[in-house]
Amino acid sequence: MYNSIVTTKMNRVDPHAWFPDVLSWIADHRAHRIDALLPLQWKDRTLRPFLYLQTD
């Protein structure tokens, strides 16, 4: 848990926004795109909704 919080802060991501969003998406997210949920790649859906509407 601590590691995830530090990683989000190092990537200038708000952990309070990242955790709920990732937890709500992880069950339905495609396994080969799991890297999109990491703090380095993650973008808040409320700010960038088009990223989550793309199909593979």
pLDDT tens-place string over residues 5-32: 898 888 888 888 889 888 888 888 788 8
Whole-number pLDDT of residue 26: 83
CA 3, CA 26: separation in Å to the nearest integer?
Answer: 18
14 dihedral zone (left: phi>0; alpha: psi -120 to 50; beta): beta
Residues with Cβ within 8 Å of residue 42, at least 6 apart in sequence:
13, 18, 21, 22, 36
pLDDT of residue 52: 46
